[in-house]
Amino acid sequence: MVRDAHLGKEIVVVVGNKIGVLADLSKIVSDHGINIEAVAGYADNAEAKIMLVTNDNLRALDALVKNGYKSSKESEVLVLEMENKAGVLKNITAKLASESIDIKYIYGTTCTSGCPSRVVLSTSNNEKAVVAFKTR
């Protein structure tokens, strides 16, 4: 069951694929007292893309740019908070498919003691997806 569906923002950082980049990014963000709430990343040959959801994207983005991460930007995402139990992801993805909403990418967090899991998605129509989950 989805507890909350809303539009959110993630920071997307495109960097050279080298050892220690994520350590440096996370140090910059944490040194500014900003919490990383969700993270995803991948490398494609010489380039890497890192997506961050923080509790203060504007300050995090400013800190990253000031520390040389010029290829940093904010992008809109769909954020779903849901129960941490079997079948929830199946239901979410089936709902999006039934609404003809394509998932571009997805990443998530989980919790083991009663707190909600969170999924961050980029879809073909984030606004339509929010409405779909709000109306159930």
Domain count, the chain: 2
Structural domain of residue 20, as residue ranges? Answer: 10-74
**Of 21, 53, 74, which marks where a domain is finished?**
74
Give the pLDDT confidence score for residue 61 in this predicted structure: 95
Give the pLDDT confidence score for residue 56 in this predicted structure: 96
**pLDDT tens-digit map of 49-92:** 999 999 999 999 999 999 999 888 999 999 999 888 889 899 99
- Regarding whether 103 and 66 lie in a shared domain, the answer is no
Q: Which CATH number is 100's domain given? A: 3.30.2130.10
Rounded Cα distance, 107 and 37, in Å? 12
- Model confidence at 135: pLDDT above 80: no
Using pLDDT thresholds of 50, 70 and 90, give the confidence band for residue 109.
Answer: confident
- Regarding whether 83 and 70 lie in a shared domain, the answer is no
- Regarding whether 34 and 60 lie in a shared domain, the answer is yes
- Regarding whether 115 and 129 lie in a shared domain, the answer is yes
Give the pLDDT confidence score for residue 122 in this predicted structure: 96
Using pLDDT thresholds of 50, 70 and 90, give the confidence band for residue 11.
Answer: very high
- Model confidence at 99: pLDDT above 90: yes
- Regarding whether 68 and 36 lie in a shared domain, the answer is yes
- Regarding whether 115 and 70 lie in a shared domain, the answer is no
**Of 49, 74, 99, which marks where a domain is finished?**
74
The token pair at 42 is 């991948």
Rounded Cα distance, 18 and 21, in Å? 6
- Regarding whether 65 and 117 lie in a shared domain, the answer is no
The pTM for the full model equals 0.87
Closest CA to 64 of 78, 77, 48, 50: 50
Give the pLDDT confidence score for residue 3 in this predicted structure: 87
Exposure class string for 79-94: b at 16+ Cβ within 10 A, else e: bbebeeeeebeeebee
**pLDDT, averaged across the chain:** 93
Give the pLDDT confidence score for residue 102 in this predicted structure: 98
